[in-house]
Chain A
């Protein structure tokens, strides 16, 4: 390609000044951008309103794309279910009969559980579902991990609320606009979730790595070694995430940090549930059971 023609736009003073002012605009814009960048690095929600305005316009497009994707992805399943409907019917009938027994037993257990809980004066914290919506888009090209939810302030979504799927925790709402919300996924490098090990309740902290996995660090001073296969659920510490939402499963360990795979896949064609922010229960929680190592000592004394 030949050298560009707009380097010296002829002898017209007007054209020369126009080009010069264009460069002045470019450099001025860069200075403004640097200012905005500093402001948004030190105060990330600073431009939430502006982003919300654009997201109000673009999210319907993303929702339409999602609708297309769900419809197309549902086609093979629809065809196969149509073909297999007869066999499936027989199988399901048999399964219902089998389940009757289990349901009866579960009912008994449930009743017993309720009774025991009443005796312990343990109140269930209601974790109300705010809204069920879909994650319609995400920051695919950026190193940050945000997703867009197609429900917002008008549906009751507020910043700080946790977002989950049946499989586990997905993230937390960081910004809302009237009909859309921005969700910080737990795999984002700046996300931190307080968790505990399901096996023994060991408190830990799950931070995003940025590559789709989580780092688990022990929150206590004890240098407990994590094992591959350990599962972690939210602990409720901090009062944002309600307890016992599955978070991650350890896949490999290194010294005091374990690398874990999140339990929920945010890309699954599934609805996301926005829950109300979990507030700490005012009633005293039952004292934790003495650990097995402490018990023999007490017995000896």
Chain B
């Protein structure tokens, strides 16, 4: 953001420059809620925030940001270290590739892309973390559905956090 100022853009930095990573970190910290779960049910709020920021404001974060954010998520989530680092980066990279293919996308396409990315990350995380024989697939499916259903809420929340940009 500091390297160039295109025409017609104000010099004032939007607050998303620090708010976007912070909101992803706070999303990852939802696992600190005092519930000792016996099945995975909590949507990956960190990932959902990351996807919402990426889909709504592609320039809100540096390209490499999923790596440190995924590292922080791995520290709290109970997944083996590297799983969110790798899968979040892959998901964001896939969104980048889709952006070059799609000419135009609105919220419905965003939702579909986010749902696919969430399913990809959760299933990938299950494959690397739990042994193949574990009976977690039903719970995982429900977790994916809950997360996909909650994505619009997270996206609205991101838009609300980003409202200073709209006023410009």
Contacts and interface: CB of A to CB of B under 8 A. Distances in A.
Q: Lowest 7 A-B CB distances belong to which pairs?
A: A139-B78, A29-B67, A37-B82, A22-B63, A33-B85, A25-B64, A36-B82
A14 interface: yes
Contact of B89 (A4, A26, A55, A137): A26
28 contacts: A3-B99, A3-B103, A5-B59, A25-B63, A26-B63, A26-B66, A32-B85, A54-B72, A55-B75, A62-B33, A65-B33, A137-B32, A137-B34, A138-B36, A138-B78, A139-B31, A139-B78, A140-B31, A140-B35, A141-B31, A142-B77, A142-B125, A143-B126, A144-B78, A189-B130, A189-B135, A212-B38, A267-B38
Interface of B: 3-4, 6, 29-44, 55-56, 58-59, 62-64, 66-68, 70-72, 75-83, 85-86, 89-90, 92-93, 99-100, 102-106, 110, 125-126, 128-131, 133-136, 138-140, 143
A294 interface: no
B75 A50 contact: yes
B19 to A, nearest CB: 18
Given A9-B4, A30-B85, A51 B134 contact: no
Contacts of A135: 36
Q: In the complex, which range does the number of interface residues on chain A fall in?
A: 35 or more
A12 B7 CA distance: 13
Contact of A41 (B76, B80, B143): B80
A146 interface: yes
A195 to B, nearest CB: 18
B139 to A, nearest CB: 6
Nearest to B54: A4
A110 interface: no
A15 interface: yes
Given A40-B82, A211-B136, A58 B76 contact: yes
Given A138-B37, A187-B38, 12 more contacts: A7-B99, A22-B63, A25-B67, A26-B64, A54-B75, A65-B33, A136-B32, A137-B36, A208-B134, A210-B130, A210-B135, A211-B39
Given A26-B66, A26-B93, A138 B31 contact: yes
A44 interface: yes
Given A4-B59, A189-B131, A142 B82 contact: no
Contacts of B40: 139-143
A137 B75 CA distance: 13
Contacts of A211: 38-39, 135-136, 138-139
A37 B128 contact: yes
Nearest to A68: B34
A196 B38 CA distance: 23
Interface string A1-29: 11111110110101100110011011101
Contact of A267 (B36, B81, B131): B36
Contacts of B104: 1-3
Interface in A122-150: 135-147
Given A145-B38, A266-B38, A34 B67 contact: no
Contacts of B64: 22-23, 25-26, 29
A22 B34 contact: no
A54 B28 CA distance: 13
Contact of B77 (A3, A44, A141, A147): A141
A19 to B, nearest CB: 7
A47 interface: yes
B31 A137 contact: yes
Contacts of A29: 64, 66-68, 85, 89
Contacts of B39: 210-212
Contacts of A27: 89, 93
B154 to A, nearest CB: 14
A265 B107 CA distance: 42
A54 B25 CA distance: 13
